[in-house]
Chain A
Amino acid sequence: MNTFQIIALTIYAFLAMIDALETDIGLSKPIQAGFFTGLIMGDVGLGLAVGATLQLMILGVGTYGGASIPDFMTGAIIGTAFGVISGKGLEFAIGLAVPIGLFLVQLDVLARFTNTYFQHKADKYAEDGDIKGIERMNILGALPWGLSRAVPVFIALIFGTEIVQGLLKVFPSWLMGGLKVAGGILPALGIAILLRYLPVKRYFAYMLVGFVGAAYLKIPMVGVALLGLALAYMVYQRNSDTPNTLAGGVGEDE
Chain B
Amino acid sequence: MNNKVDDKKIDDKKITQKDLMKVNIRWLLGGQLGWNYERMQGLPYCYAIIPILKKLYPDKEDLKKALKLHLQFFNTEPDMAHLILGANIAIEEKEGLKAEEAITGIKTGLMGPFAGIGDTIYGVIAGTVFGSIAAYMALNGNSLGIWIWTIWLVFRWILRWWFMKLGYAQGTKLVTTLSGKMKNITEAASILGLTVIGALIPTVIRANVPYVFTSGKVEMKLQGIFDQIMPALIPVALVGLVYWVLGKKKMTSTKTILLLMVLAVLLFNFKILS
Contact = CB atoms under 8 A, between A and B. Distances in A.
Given A214-B198, A228-B191, A239 B36 contact: no
A215 B205 CA distance: 12
A70 B38 contact: no
Given A26-B153, A44-B143, A244-B184, A195 B243 contact: yes
A249 B136 contact: no
B253 A60 contact: no
Contacts of B156: 24
B127 A138 contact: no
A35 interface: yes
B192 A231 contact: yes
Interface in B137-168: 137-139, 141-143, 146, 149-150, 153-154, 156-157
B138 A198 contact: no
A238 B182 CA distance: 14
Given A184-B207, A187-B205, A64 B134 contact: no
Contact of B36 (A141, A186, A211, A247): A141
Contacts of A98: 257, 261
B129 interface: yes
A114 B46 CA distance: 19
Interface stretch (B15-23, B63-71, B85-93, B99-107): B63-71
Given A126-B68, A129-B67, A196-B246, A239 B184 contact: yes
Interface stretch (B2-10, B169-177, B214-222, B234-242): B234-242
Interface extent on B, as a size class? 35 or more
A47 to B, nearest CB: 9
A167 B108 CA distance: 50
B212 interface: no
A208 interface: yes
B35 A189 contact: no
B9 to A, nearest CB: 27
Interface in A69-117: 69-70, 98, 102, 105, 112-117
Contacts of B28: 22-23
A52 B241 CA distance: 22
Nearest to A214: B199
Interface extent on A, as a size class? 35 or more
Main secondary structure of the interface of A (DSSP, over half): helix
Given A66-B37, A199-B190, A59 B67 contact: no
B129 to A, nearest CB: 5
Interface in B86-140: 115-117, 119-120, 123-125, 127-129, 131-139
B14 interface: no
Contacts of A240: 184
Interface in B2-58: 28-40, 42-44, 46-47, 50, 53-54
29 contacts: A21-B35, A22-B30, A34-B138, A52-B138, A55-B134, A113-B37, A115-B34, A118-B36, A126-B67, A131-B67, A138-B34, A138-B46, A138-B47, A174-B269, A177-B268, A179-B261, A186-B260, A187-B200, A189-B256, A198-B197, A203-B194, A208-B198, A215-B202, A215-B230, A224-B196, A232-B189, A239-B184, A239-B187, A249-B117
Interface of A: 18, 21-26, 29, 31-32, 34-35, 44-45, 48-49, 51-53, 55-57, 59-62, 64-66, 69-70, 98, 102, 105, 112-119, 122-123, 125-129, 131, 134-135, 137-142, 145, 174-175, 177-189, 191-200, 203-204, 206-216, 219-222, 224-225, 227-229, 231-233, 235-236, 239-240, 243-244, 246-251
Interface of B: 28-40, 42-44, 46-47, 50, 53-54, 60, 63-64, 67-68, 71, 75, 78, 115-117, 119-120, 123-125, 127-129, 131-139, 141-143, 146, 149-150, 153-154, 156-157, 180, 183-207, 230-232, 235-236, 238-239, 241-243, 245-247, 253-254, 256-258, 260-261, 263-269, 273-274
